[in-house]
Structure 1
Amino acid sequence: MDEWVIWIILAVVLGVAEIFTLTAALGLLGAAALLTAATAALGLPIPLQLLVFSLASVAGLIVVRPIAMRHIRQPQLRRFGVEALIGKPAYVVSEITGREGRVRIEGEEWSARAYDETLVIPTGATVDVIEIEGATALVYPRE
């Protein structure tokens, strides 16, 4: 069997393994194997093929992989929906207890209850939204 065929088989095996791991390391090693297959097809001897594979692997893992991982693991820039309301201030429209109440959050009126069930928060107070449970805001008074 020709050497370049072995390098192609190795590249395919590494590529398939990358699909299951998603680490970007095995895919880069597969790309190095493809590059080495091209050098083997040109007729370079095995020691030079191993050198090409080693250099391409090291370059991929040291240079390309960190860049790829930065792009893969980008943090979510903004929160949307009810998650965006958590941490926002709210105005108490009707007295809040551990069971019921109403608040106005960014112009919208929400049902609310106290995060600490022993608290009673009077009308007109300012509270912070701690959590959203369904259509009810769990709030805690500002100090």
Structure 2
Amino acid sequence: MLIWLVIGGGLCSLEFFFPTAFVEFMMGVSALGVAAVLLVFPIPPNIQIALWLVLSTTAVIASRRFLTPRTSKRTLSDDSEAETLTAIAAGKTGRVLYEGNSWRARCADETVAIQPNETVYVVRQEGTTLYVMPRHLLT
């Protein structure tokens, strides 16, 4: 049990000197958790290591959920024009050529269909989908 207390304290302390986005800290907390379990249950060393690995992995994954922003704002370039590669049926997705890449796209107005090879304006982005409007509707 003493070794797990030393390992846990050491890993938690290392986070102050070498920041790793709380990975070392979570591994240290997991080592302290193994020490706490050993107070109640005598566990063989190989099971202790397995328990520490499971606790560390779970703690690191759980901390990512709370420490990283859920949505990252991406800025689109100033050039908001794109060209449709495929037809975009009303309420459906299609493909547009934007900034030299093919993107999944939907029409921002779900009642409008857009023909292929038509110039469109990018209105917004949600994930990997661009929402576009035909140029003739905006000019």
**Higher Cα Rg, which structure:** 1
TM-score range, shorter chain: 0.3 to 0.5
TM-score, normalized by length of structure 1? Answer: 0.43
Q: TM-score of the superposition, structure 2-length normalised?
A: 0.44
